[in-house]
Amino acid sequence: MPTDALTGLVDRSAFRTRLETALAEWKPDTSGPAVLMVDLDRFKAVNDSLGHPAGDALLRIAAKRLRAAVRGTDLAARLGGDEFAVLLTAPVSPDAAAMVAARLVDLLARPYLVQGQAASVGASVGLAFAEPDCTTADALIGRADMAMYQAKGDGRGRVGFFSAALQQRADLRRQTEQELRAALPLGQLELFYQPQYDLNVGQLSGFEALLRWRHPLRGLVPPDDFIPIAEEIRLISSLGEWVLRTACAEAARWPGAMTVAVNVAAQQFESGRLVGIVEAALEAAGLPGPRLELEITESSLLNDPGGIVTTQLTALKAMGVAISLDDFGTGYSSLSQLRSFPFDRVKIDRSFVNDHAVVRAITAMGTSMGIRTTAEGVETAAQLENVRREGCHEVQGYLLGRPLPASAIPETIARLVGGTDLLKEDT
C-alpha cells in the first residue's frame, strides 16, 4: 500500500482505494464507515518561525499521535501538507466516532518538541458517516471536509459534524459563487451612496459609494452576504475596478464639488495596476483627482511585501486623490499603520461612536498628525453630539442619511446644499 514518504502513513490514493473498498462491502442497513478529515491549525506559523525542517518534524509527531488514536482496523492517512484523514471502518457508532474525533483534537493540540524547540498547533476535525445517499469515496470525503471547514469557521480546535443543514449552506454558497461571477456581465450590480457631512460647516461634503447586488430572485443582496465570497474567489479586483469607473462617472455628474469615497480591497493592490486603473477612471469621467477618496483597511498594509501598496498609495496621492484608513481602531496594529503612511483621513469604526474616550483619543491623535477624522455609523442624536463634542471633522450614518441609489443623488444634493437641521448646534 503506497505510503507518504515523510510520515509513513498511507497516502491520498491508498486512502481513497481503501475507502472505496469499505463502502463496497458496507450494507446500507447497518452502521456505515466514517471519515474524519483532520487539518492542523496554525501550522504555517511553525514553518514561518521555526523553519520547514521543524515543520516536517512536527508532522511526523502528529502522524504518530494520529496512528495511536485509532483502532488497528482503522486507517490513518496523510493527504498532503498539514491535512490528514482517518477511516473508521464499520461497525462504528456515532458516539464512538465522536469520541475518536475529540481525542484527536486533544492529542494534536498538546505541545510538540521539535529540534529542541517547543511548538504549539491545534487541530480541526470534520466527521461524516456513509449514508444511503452518500456511498462514494468522493462524496464521503467531501462531507467530512465540509464539516472540518465548519469546525474551523466556528473557532478551530473542535469537531465539526456533517448535517443536512451544512449541505444546504454549502449548496447555497456554491450557487452564490456561480451567480456572483455572472452578476457583473448581467448588469445586476449597482452603487448606492451614503451622505457624508462636514461638522465644521454643518453641510453635506460628499458620499461613500457602496456596492449592491440586485439579484433577480433574492432581491437586493446585503454586501456582507457577497463581498467576503468575492474576496475568497478572487473576484473582488474586477468588481472593484467596475466600482471605481462607475463611481467616478456618476460623481462627475453631480452638481458642485462633492467628493466620492470608494473602498479598495487588499487584493486590488496585488497586480500593481491600481494607479493606472484609477487614472483611467478619472480621465474617462473627467473627474478631478481631489474629488476622489480611496478607503483602505489596515490589512492592505499588513501584507505589503516590497512596499507595493505604499508605492501605489504614494502615486495616487500625487494625483490629488485622498487616502483614508477605514474601520480605524478594530485592528491590532492600527496605530502603527497610521504612522506608516500620510493618510488624509481616518474613519472611526461604528463600534466606537458611543465611547467618548476612544473617540476623543482618535480625534486628538488625528488632529496632531494633520489627519481628518470621520465617525461612521452614527444612528442617534446622542452619538452625533458625542462625536461633535470630541472634535470629529466629518460624520455619516443612518441618522443623517441612508445609502441612496445613484438616481436620487442630484435631488439629495440640491435639498441638502444648505445643510440639515440635525447638524445645527442647538439641536
Chain centroid to CA 264: how far? 13
Residue with cell 498532503: 80
What is the C-alpha to C-alpha distance for residues 376 and 330, in angstroms, rounded to an integer? 13
pLDDT tens, residue by residue, 226-255? 999 999 999 999 999 999 999 999 999 998
What is the C-alpha to C-alpha distance for residues 419 and 202, in angstroms, rounded to an integer? 6
- Tell me the torsion sign for CA atoms 22, 27, 29, 31: negative
HSE-CB of 244 using CA atoms within 13 angstroms:
27
- Characterise 283 by phi-psi region: left (phi > 0), alpha (psi -120 to 50), beta (else): alpha
CB distance 137 to 37 below 8 Å: no
CA terminus-to-terminus distance, the chain: 79
What is the C-alpha to C-alpha distance for residues 426 and 168, in angstroms, rounded to an integer? 54
Task: Report which residue type is found at 287.
Answer: L
Q: Is the pTM of this model over 0.75?
A: yes
Please report the pLDDT score of residue 222 as a whole number.
85
Domains for the chain: give ranges and CATH numbers. Answer: 12-162 (3.30.70.270), 176-423 (3.20.20.450)
Which uninterrupted H or E stretch holds 173? helix 164-183
The CA-based angle 46-49-54, given to 5 degrees, is: 55
What is the C-alpha to C-alpha distance for residues 385 and 407, in angstroms, rounded to an integer? 31
pLDDT under 70: residue ranges of the chain: 305, 329-337, 418-422, 424-427
Please report the pLDDT score of residue 336 as a whole number.
65
Task: Report which residue type is found at 377.
Answer: G
Examine residue 91 and say whether the peptide bond preceding it is cis (omega within 30 degrees of 0).
Answer: yes
Please report the pLDDT score of residue 334 as a whole number.
58
CB distance 77 to 86 below 8 Å: yes
Examine residue 132 and say whether the peptide bond preceding it is cis (omega within 30 degrees of 0).
Answer: no
Please report the pLDDT score of residue 427 as a whole number.
40
Please report the pLDDT score of residue 330 as a whole number.
65
- Tell me the torsion sign for CA atoms 338, 339, 342, 344: positive
Please report the pLDDT score of residue 96 as a whole number.
92
DSSP string covering 298-327: HHHHHS-GGGHHHHHHHHHHHTT-EEEEEE
Q: Are strands 34-41 and 83-88 parallel, antiparallel or unpaired?
A: antiparallel
Give the full edge-to-edge strand order of the sheet including 122-129: 75-80, 83-88, 34-41, 122-129, 159-161
What is the C-alpha to C-alpha distance for residues 86 and 69, in angstroms, rounded to an integer? 10
Residue with cell 507595493: 308
Other C-beta atoms lying within 10 Å of the C-beta of residue 299: 13
Please report the pLDDT score of residue 8 as a whole number.
95
The C-alpha cell that represents 219 in the structure block: 432581491
